Amino acid sequence: MAFGHGKVILLGEHSVVHGRPALAVAVPRGAEITVVPAAPKLPATTLHIEPWNVSVDAGPAPNLGREPLQEALRVACGFYDDGRHFALSATVRLPSGAGMGSSAALGVAVLRALDDARGLTRSDDEIYQRSLAWEGVFHGNPSGVDNAMATHGGVGLFTRGSPLTPVVPRHPVRLVAAYSGASSDTKGMVESVARQFERNPEQVGRQFDAIGAIVMNGKLALEQGELRSLGQLMTMNHKLLAGLMLSTAALEEMITAAMEAGALGAKVTGAGGGGCMIALVDSVAQQQAVGDALRKLDKTVYDVESGS
């Protein structure tokens, strides 16, 4: 069984694309893949994904309506020149387009499964580098944070072009993640922020710098066990992201509900424009209360915990 982690970004969305750091937490949900040799009649590697009920192959004929996924599978298979084909069966336990790293989790799991099928063992760093090509198909200009967390797991500080730095929280990190019900267009949101930066590099650059400072303070808060400070930083980060037009009415309603239910802080996570929000809590009881408040809005809720 090959696996790739999902993730949530605690602090640092979008500015991470422009060279600032981001702080992220891997989630136990992700993508799991089993692999068997392809039937002799199949001329290419295939991938079937549950619960989406989606199938693609890496052959030359276009899989209409599934072209990005088919191209990503071709990219993954292109790392091997032995002519062998396999049937991959994936279970993805993350919502698609929700900011929880579903495409990166799937890509890392696919690459590990293709290695496993050949009896190969590759380092996490090699898997990370290869999975960047997979993510590029979907997101155009990925920062690398999603596939870094999908590969390595844990809690990490990520800066584009640098190795992931593990972060050891003093206390467990408890979060409530909730899906707004609307998918996020990561590529479109990244391009939107890039256009804002091009039009006003001084102002948007200052926003990126402010987010970068929030990230570094958040790392210290995690390491020192200052969860209330971390929550305040998350809320500050959200206001800066909202200023970049990355929030929505649904996300704002969810964030308000989480804070009123006792969350220490709450923000959009991922690309924005839809997808998920996260709320920081400091106990199981608080996690339940915040989750219940979000369920009352008919939102899908995921509890996330990373150990100290």
Single-letter amino acid code for the residue at 197: F
Q: Confirm or reject CATH 3.30.830.10 for domain 2-165, answering yes or no.
A: no
> Degrees (nearest 5) of the Cα angle 40, 46, 48?
130
pLDDT digits (tens, 9 = 90+) for 91-117: 999 888 788 999 999 999 999 999 999
- My answer on whether omega of the bond before 21 falls inside 30° of 0, hence cis, is no
- The stretch 40-50 carries a mean pLDDT of 90
Give the residue range(s) of CATH 3.30.230.10 domains in the chain.
Answer: 2-165
User: What's the burial of 107, exposed, middle or buried (CB within 10 Å: 0-12/13-18/19+)?
Assistant: buried
Please tell me which residue, 272 or 42, carries the higher pLDDT value.
272
Catalytic residue among 146, 185, 209, 298: 146
Whether the per-residue pLDDT at 79 is higher than 80: the answer is yes
Q: What is the full DSSP assignment across 135-170?
A: HHHHHSS--SHHHHHHHH-SEEEE-TTS--EE---S
Q: What gap in Å lies between CA 296 and CA 127, rounded to an integer?
A: 40
Q: Percentage of the chain with pLDDT > 70?
A: 99
Mean per-residue pLDDT of the chain: 94
For residue 146, indicate whether it is catalytic: yes
- CATH class given for the domain over 168-306: alpha beta
Amino acid at 10: L
- C-alpha distance from residue 156 to each of 8, 13, 39, 128 (Å): 11, 14, 41, 14
Range name among 96-110, 114-128, 208-222 with the lowest pLDDT average: 96-110
Residue intervals in the chain for CATH 3.30.70.890: 168-306
Question: What amino acid occupies position 270?
Answer: G
* pLDDT mean over 128-133: 95
pLDDT tens column, 249-308: 999 999 999 999 999 999 999 889 999 999 999 999 999 999 999 999 999 999 998 854
Q: Provide the pLDDT for residue 152.
A: 94
Model confidence at 44: pLDDT above 80: yes
